[in-house]
Structure formats: C-alpha cells, structure tokens
Chains A and B, each alone.
Chain A
Amino acid sequence: MLSESIWWSSIVLEVFLLTRGVSGHLIFRYPVFYGYISFVLAQSIFRSFVHRWSEQLYSSVYWTTEFLGLMLGCWVVFEIYRVALAAYPGTAKMARNVLLFLFALALAKCGAALWNDPHLLEETTALQMERALRTVEATSIVALVTVFASYSIPFGWNLRGILLGYGLFIGERVICLTFVPVAGKDFWFYAYSASYLVALSLWLGHLWSYQAIPEAESAQLEREYQMIATATQRRLQEVRGQLRKAVRS
C-alpha cells in the first residue's frame, strides 16, 4: 500500500514537473535534467508493466534500467557543472582536476580490489555494484559542491534546485543502499523509494518558473577582467616564492 502510494506520488510529481518544464521553457535550458526525469517516468511505467507480465524478466529489466538511470544521472551532474561554470574557466579547470583525481582514485581502488580477488566481479551483486557506483557519484558531487562554494560561484534558483535535489537524492540513496535488505520490505526499503519523492518535491519548488543565473548577464564584462586576473596569477606566484622563503627563514 505504502509502496503504491510512493509510486503514484512519484508519477504525479514527475508529470507535473515535466509540464512546468515545458510551459516555462525550462526544458530547453536544462535538456539533460528533463531527459532524466522523462527517462525515470518511462522506466517506472515500463517496469510496472513488466512486473505484471513476467516476474522472471522483471529483475533483468529492473537492473538494466537502474544502471541506465545511473548513467543519465551522471550526465545531469555534468550538465550542472557545464551550466554553472560556463562563465568561470578557472573554477571549471579546478573542478575537472579534482574530478579526474577522484576517478583515478576510484579506478585504482577497484583495480587493487580485483588484483586481490580475481573472482570479485562474479561475487558482486547488482545491488553492491550500484552502491559502489553511487558512492563514487556522491563523492564527485561533494567535490563539486566544495569547489562551487570555495569559489563563490553564483547559482540561479533553478540550477541550485537541480543540484540540491539530485545531491540529496544521491546522498539518501547511498545510505539506503547500504542498509536495504536484498529481500523483504523494511524501513530502508521505503526510505529508498521515498528519497526520490523528496528530490521531486525540491525540484518542483525550484523549477516552477525560469529564473536567470545571477551575473550571467555580466559575463562579457568579466571576460575583460579575466585577462587582468591571469596576469595577476603570475605575480601571485612570485610573491608566493618570496613568502615561502620568508616563512622558512
């Protein structure tokens, strides 16, 4: 009963969100995000049909669509990064390096685990795989938010909503995936499903209508300043060298 009400609420909120996106032309500004919402909506309906027709097929359909959703979710994070840092190449470079470092770290950890146990992949369940991938995604979002906050990147109301909603959804999901039982329904099973409802409500509140990103209009003006700041970086480095000598002396 509770599962069904969560399912129906999600469908209603998704349809509502998409309708607002189309009527407010937000769908053209954040195409990946609305593509993700459309995918999740289609996936929910498709899974429900498959569940009624064939329970044997359901498991493979569930995990295939789940991993497709995960990949699309990563694309949403990329869209946030692209839109938020379009006018800030310095911060964009910083964010790229931080993310590359994190992915290299995750790959190295994965390689080391496979080296220690060659049968690891066969023993890993789809749930564990999803948890591992979502953990990497959560860590990437933490790194991105830290970079955004450190460089005081101005966020519009819409983009802030997308980031907050998706970030909270991933954070909740990672925790729920750790505790959710393989079979049966307990608190964590419902929390896992309901985490998406929280994100949808946040998105609906933040994406009701389009609101411009602050300073986006002055990007042209700031590009002139950019040349100045680049030259200043060199001077900063020189002074840094002097500073280091002075502190060591």
Chain B
Amino acid sequence: MMEFASVIAGAGLLLLLTAAALKGWLASRPLIPGPAGEEDATEPCPEELVNRIFSRTDWDFVHGLRAGGIERLFEQERKKVALVWVRQTSRMVRKVMDEHAQAARQSKNLKISTEIDIFGQFLMLMAVCAILSAAIQLAGPLRLGGLAHFAQRLSQRMSKLQETFRAGVLANAGEAGST
C-alpha cells in the first residue's frame, strides 16, 4: 500500500513538474491584455442567443422543409456555433479566475474557505463546459437545452461577480488615492 502511494506521489510530482516546465506555469505570467477583439470574445453571450442555439424552434422549422441536405447543414452549423459558445464560456471563466488570482495572491486577509469555494465553482464550471462540449459532439446541441441554461446562469453570475470585484477595486483605489 505504502509502495503504491510512493509511486503515485513520485510519478505525480514528475508529471506536474514536466507539465510546468513545458507549459511555462512557473514562468512570469502577468495578465497581459490579448489582441484586439479578444476582450470582446470573453464577454458572455446574450441569453437570447444561447436560448436560440439550444432551442428546437429553428430545427422544427428546418425539419418542416423536408430537405435532408439543409437538415444536415443546419445540424453541422448549429453544432459549430454551440461549440464556439462553450469554448467562449470556459475562456471567460478562466479569465475570471486569472483576474481573481492576480488580486488574491497579494491579499494578506485571504480567506481559505472563500478561495476553496471559488475554486470549487471554477472546477464545477469547467467540468460542466467539458461535459457540455462532449455532449454536443455526441448528441448535438438540440437535446442539451437544460444543461446549457444551467451553465449560462452560472457563468453570468461569475461575470457579475467579476464586475463587482472590479468595481470594488476601483472604489478602493479612489479612496486610497484621496487619502
């Protein structure tokens, strides 16, 4: 049992350090703004668009045309749009976490329970995005309405959280500047 734990710990450490060396996790990674347009790409999609991507209304219309070629094309296009939305959502969640980490790492009053909670939310969102992506690939976006709405609600709340976070930073910067 102990031997097994040792091998797991050793192999885990070797893999983690190899990944860190290859991906530059231990290199200097300041939060540099991306190229023009990327900022917009991490904004949440409007809820109406998400409703549309995962709704069956358009599909029912296309199905009613009874044209196999258009149906296939519609399914392919809708799948691509849905996958882009999932990638965008997960990118936005990562950005929120990056910004949080940049600020939290210097906070003397950092709360471990809060950090664990935020990290838990982050992991849950990333897992939902991964599952969603796999499910879209397998079943297509039209059967996944419920799960998509859940992910959308959560990511928008995280986005609001980020806005409040920014607002707090700006407000306090103003206070610090006036004193």
- Residue numbers of A with Cβ under 8 A of B are 87-91, 93-94, 97, 128, 131-132, 134-135, 138-139, 141-142, 145-146, 148-155, 160, 163-164, 167-168, 170-175, 177-178, 214-215, 222-233, 235-237, 239-240, 243, 246-247
* 15 more A-B residue pairs beyond the given contacts A135-B9, A148-B25, A233-B110, with a C-beta to C-beta distance below 8 A: A94-B112, A142-B13, A153-B26, A154-B27, A154-B28, A164-B26, A168-B17, A173-B10, A175-B11, A178-B6, A226-B106, A228-B172, A228-B173, A229-B104, A240-B117
Pair A232/B106 contact, Cβ less than 8 Å: no
7 contacts between A and B (CB under 8 A): A90-B107, A131-B6, A154-B28, A168-B17, A174-B10, A235-B165, A243-B161
Pair A175/B7 contact, Cβ less than 8 Å: yes
Name the residue among A172, A173, A247 with the largest chain B CB count within 10 angstroms.
A247
Pair B2/A148 contact, Cβ less than 8 Å: no
**Smallest CB gap from B15: residue in A:** A171
- Among the 9-residue stretches B65-73, B78-86, B95-103, B126-134, the one with 4 or more Cβ atoms under 8 Å from chain A is B95-103
A184 to B89: give the CA distance in the assembly, Å.
57
Asked, given contacts A91-B105, A233-B111, A239-B160, whether A171 binds B172 with beta carbons under 8 Å apart, the answer is: no
Pair B117/A178 contact, Cβ less than 8 Å: no
Number of interface residues of B (CB under 8 A): 54
Q: List B contacts of A154 (CB < 8 A).
A: 27-30
Q: List A contacts of B27 (CB < 8 A).
A: 154-155, 160
- Residue numbers of B with Cβ under 8 A of A are 2-3, 5-7, 9-14, 16-17, 20-21, 25-31, 98, 100-112, 114-115, 117-119, 153-154, 157, 160-161, 164-165, 167-169, 172-173, 176
A146 to B123: give the CA distance in the assembly, Å.
14
A2 to B14: give the CA distance in the assembly, Å.
25
Q: Report A147 CB to chain B, min CB distance, Å.
A: 10
**Smallest CB gap from A156: residue in B:** B28
Pair B107/A235 contact, Cβ less than 8 Å: no
Q: List B contacts of A97 (CB < 8 A).
A: 112
Pair A145/B108 contact, Cβ less than 8 Å: no
Pair B104/A160 contact, Cβ less than 8 Å: no
